[in-house]
Chains A and B, each alone.
Chain A
Amino acid sequence: MDKTTNHKAWFLVLPVLALVAFSAVIPLMTVVNYSVQDTFGNNQFFWAGLEWFREMLESERMWNALGRQLVFSATILAIEVPLGIFVALNMPKRGIWASVCLVLMSLPLLIPWNVVGTIWQIFGRVDIGLLGYTLDKLGIDYNYTQDAVDAWITVIVMDVWHWTSLVALLAYAGLQSIPDAYYQAAKIDQASRWKVFRYIELPKMAGVLMIAVLLRFMDSFMIYTEPFVVTGGGPGNATTFLSIDLVKMALGQFDLGPAAAFSIMYFLVILLISWVFYTVMTNLDKKGG
């Protein structure tokens, strides 16, 4: 649609600006402020320059957390996106069953994140949880509080359980927008199932899939509550992701300076990756019309 140039439109944006300035800019400035100062208590602050940033960049702890974070995000994207598409392709297209599937699939999305953690914490316990108990009876040694690999598997399965539906619902919406005529044409051409998927369904889903990937990346990169409830970042530091580490540092040990420097770098990493996604996405949008 053609847009008219009208600078007065700024007035319509003002309420949002005021609100976001209050709830984002002021706190962010506080963080920046802390990141360049040192304190000896009593609210006395000293200029520390980029000292904290240097310290954080040299800290093994942050690099380890970042590494775990990247592995985690990559793993859940690699599972959730294909699985979500697969589920979407198998969803009923209309009728009562479509509604039933929509409602049931949305259910995990609306459970408070700490309850998601609680559900899996209970579900995986060897003594009272269905999953843990079953695995134990099958003779599989499974203990997510002691074994790092088991903890990782639990956290990943939990995330797949929690968020695959979002990818599936988005992909489903993309599929719904494909006119019947496309399928009929494909049938006349005797296109194989794979070709229908590759040349009709996938291009039509590309836009929403980009959004799904962007959202899942951002949210998995910020994940805190669910693994914190299930594993508390353990065993050891095995599932200490960036946010868990940051909260430990900022609210647990009250190391304001390093935590603030950490925050800023953390935010910049997300921003950078998201900006790349966003640019690719808007370019796709333009090409697709």
Chain B
Amino acid sequence: MADATMTEPRRAALPRVNTRAVVMGLYLLFLLLPIYWLVNMSLKTNAEILGGFSLWPRDLTLANYATILTDASWYMGYVNSLIYVVLNTVISVTVALPAAYAFSRYRFMGDKHLFFWLLTNRMAPPAVFALPFFQLYSSVGLFDTHIAVALAHCLFNVPLAVWILEGFMRGVPKEIDETAYIDGYSFPRFFVKIFMPLIASGIGVAAFFCFMFSWVELLLSRTLTSVDAKPIAATMTRTVSASGLDWGVLAAAGVLTIVPGALVIYFVRNYIAKGFALGRV
């Protein structure tokens, strides 16, 4: 009988709407509960966290956030992370644009092999690359700089950006290119003035995913930095091992790492579905 109530995917039959709402409600509850718990802890004093169990902060405090936002060794972690993430996003999308155009428009020697080889870099375990990266960037004097982390993250973000952009470019009719060339546009001018605005949402989606994967990565960014470019994620792990019990500050730092991601999602929310719709992530 459950099947019978589900046969009309569009109609707002009451029982069906309810099952949907219940399923989504439970799933979102499952997603949000651990996050709520982190926020909850970040608003408590350490005494309250360890002293007893409470579902919400009895003794609301913003001291944990104040600790982070006034201590340079904490908040510089966020600044460092943002610098290399933005650098990486810009580099990845910039080099991926012409390459994606080539893959979407032309057939050339070794194109398919090249495309798969690029994708294999997305499959390379960061753990494999941690040590060689450390040695490579140390030997060229880039160790502990933002650009080193940005370049290292290109390993998986460039192939991803090429993959996503190629999908979007394939959707643009070829006649547009040809008309532009007949009208006397040079390739660079056509690409910037006409082509890029057409795939603006694709560029947005590619940038979103580059931002995301660079922001969440820890292993490489921790290996390649010590002080000057130390990401927030690494700052957190250090504090856990050093003082061990400062749960409130740790939770507050965690909550603050969620904020940039949440902001980015909010701005690109309409593009996400579109980007996913192309089946490219």
Known A13-B99, A30-B132, A122-B41: A225·B219 in contact at CB below 8 Å: yes
Q: How far is the CA of A174 from the CA of B281 in the complex (A)?
A: 13
Chain A residues lying within 8 Å of B223, measured Cβ to Cβ, are 251
The answer to whether B99 and A16 have CB atoms under 8 Å apart is yes
**Per-residue 0/1 for A107-137: is the Cβ within 8 Å of any B Cβ (1 yes, 0 no)?**
1111111110011101100011111010000
By the criterion CB–CB under 8 Å, are B237 and A267 in contact?
no
Q: A111-B258, A119-B35 are in contact. List 12 more A-B contacts (CB 8 A).
A: A6-B105, A16-B99, A28-B129, A30-B132, A87-B27, A110-B262, A112-B215, A113-B216, A130-B33, A130-B55, A270-B124, A270-B125
Q: Are B236 and A118 closer than 8 Å at their CB atoms?
A: yes
Range, interface on chain A: 35 or more
Asked if A247 meets B212 with Cβ closer than 8 Å, knowing A112-B218, A208-B276, the reply is no
B201 lies within 8 A of chain A by Cβ: no
Q: Return 29 A-B CB contacts under 8 Å, by A number.
A: A2-B174, A4-B107, A9-B108, A13-B114, A15-B94, A16-B162, A17-B114, A19-B151, A23-B151, A31-B128, A90-B20, A92-B24, A99-B270, A104-B32, A107-B32, A107-B258, A119-B37, A122-B37, A128-B49, A166-B281, A193-B3, A208-B279, A211-B281, A222-B123, A224-B125, A224-B219, A243-B126, A247-B130, A270-B123
Question: Among B95, B107, B262, which residue has its beta carbon within 8 angstroms of that of A19?
Answer: B95
Smallest beta-carbon distance B187→chain A, Å: 9
Q: Which one of A5, A183, A267 contacts B10 once the chains associate, using CB atoms below 8 Å?
A: A183
Of the residues A112, A123, A176, A180, contact of B34 by C-beta under 8 Å? A123
Per-position contact with A for B111-155: 1 when CB-CB < 8 Å, else 0?
Answer: 100101011111111111111110110000000000000011011
Binding site for A on B (CB under 8 A): 3-4, 6-10, 19-20, 23-24, 27-28, 30-35, 37-38, 41, 49-50, 53, 55, 91, 94-96, 98-99, 101-103, 105-109, 111, 114, 116, 118-133, 135-136, 151-152, 154-155, 158-159, 162, 170, 174, 212, 215-219, 223, 232-233, 236-237, 240, 247, 250-251, 254, 257-258, 260-262, 264-266, 269-270, 272-273, 276-281
Considering only CB atoms, which chain B residue lies closest to A166 in the complex?
B281
Cα-based distance from A278 to B136 in the complex (angstroms):
31
Binding site for B on A (CB under 8 A): 1-10, 12-13, 15-17, 19-20, 22-24, 26-28, 30-31, 86-87, 90-93, 99, 101-115, 118-120, 122-123, 127-131, 133, 161, 165-166, 169-170, 172-174, 176-177, 180, 183, 187, 190-194, 196, 207-208, 211, 215, 218, 221-222, 224-225, 229, 242-244, 246-247, 250-251, 256, 259, 263, 266-267, 270-271, 274-275, 278
Residues of chain B within 8 A (CB-CB) of A208 are 276, 279
Q: Which residue of B lies closest to A29 (CB)?
A: B132
**Residues on B with beta carbons closer than 8 Å to the beta carbon of A127:** 50, 53
- Kindly state the separation between the CA atoms of A55 and B223 in the bound complex, as whole angstroms: 27
Instruction: Tell whether, in the assembled complex, residue A170 and residue B281 are in contact, meaning their CB atoms are under 8 Å apart.
Output: yes
- C-alpha gap A196/B129 in the complex (Å): 46
**Distance (whole angstroms) from the CB of B271 to the closest CB of chain A:** 10
Hey, which chain B residues are within 8 Å of A165, CB to CB? Answer: 31
- CB proximity of B265 to chain A, nearest CB, Å: 5
Q: Choose among A6, A211, A246 the residue that contacts B279 (Cβ–Cβ < 8 A).
A: A211
Q: Which of A4, A196, A259 contacts B131 (CB 8 A)?
A: A259
Residue of A nearest to B117 (CB): A20
Whether A9 pairs with B130 at a CB distance below 8 angstroms is no
Contacting B24 at CB < 8 Å: which of A15, A22, A90?
Answer: A90
Q: Distance in Å from the Cβ of A222 to the closest Cβ of chain B?
A: 4
Q: Known contacts being A1-B174, A123-B37, is A173 close to B216, with CB within 8 Å? A: no
Distance from A175 Cβ to chain B, minimum over Cβ atoms (Å)? 9
CB neighbours of A2 from chain B (8 A): 174
Please list the 6 inter-chain residue pairs (A to B) with the smallest Cβ-Cβ separation, ordered nearest first. Answer: A110-B261, A27-B132, A173-B276, A9-B106, A12-B102, A243-B127
Assess the B102–A13 pair: CB atoms within 8 A: yes
- Contact residues in B for A17 (Cβ distance below 8 Å): 114
